[in-house]
Chain A
Amino acid sequence: GQQLNQSPQSMFIQEGEDVSMNCTSSSIFNTWLWYKQDPGEGPVLLIALYKAGELTSNGRLTAHFCITRKDSFLNISASIPSDVGIYFCAGSSGGSNYKLTFGKGTLLTVNP
């Protein structure tokens, strides 16, 4: 089946620093989604990308849907303590079942 390689697995940064994480697939996706999950909660949608080459921002977050359609990046600028959590990328290759393939997540820790 399809697989997403998400990296890094974890990050420890100081408050105020910028963060970058990415996902790579061996196959093409038509949609890339980035979610954040806090402990004991469900994932919350951060950014949705629907077009190859698209660059979309949501506040301090910026995500890129690479033109190859096999990669996506998420950048967080000027990190704050509440950015702590697990970030998941998810991709969909379309089709009638609308299933998502998830990366294994990036655990972000922000030191005040």
Chain B
Amino acid sequence: GAVVSQHPSWVICKSGTSVKIECRSLDFQATTMFWYRQFPKQSLMLMATSNEGSKATYEQGVEKDKFLINHASLTLSTLTVTSAHPEDSSFYICSARRAGLSTDTQYFGPGTRLTVL
């Protein structure tokens, strides 16, 4: 298989607090992980590419100081939404690409529903 987990599956927080979301590849190593955001009835929007041991690459328009990404190991990447506001409420999904393979196939986690009050 190629199982990717996310924790938590949902979170509700007050405006101004920070929220950390974990993404783990359970049965494979991932040198590259990706973080997406998805609004209702829309497609996935890539936020950033996370490479193990190096800084994340953010897509245009994504604030790197607001969405902190850390990829400390080959099986774990974290996304921290700092000083969250209601407009940050969304479905956040991570994906992982197998290390050692040249294919572009990404395996997705189950997503994290963030609600900021």
Residues of A within 8 A of B (CB): 30-31, 33, 35, 40-45, 48, 50, 88, 90, 92, 94, 97-100, 102-105
Contact = CB atoms under 8 A, between A and B. Distances in A.
Q: Which secondary structure dominates chain B's binding surface?
A: strand
A108 to B, nearest CB: 14
Contacts, number: 58
Interface stretch (B11-19, B66-74, B80-88, B105-113): B105-113
B46 interface: yes
A24 to B, nearest CB: 15
- Chain A interface mostly: loop
A41 B43 contact: no
B54 interface: no
Chain B, interface residues (CB within 8 Å), range: 20 to 34
Contacts of B42: 104
A41 B57 contact: no
B86 to A, nearest CB: 20
Given A94-B104, A97-B57, A42 B111 contact: yes
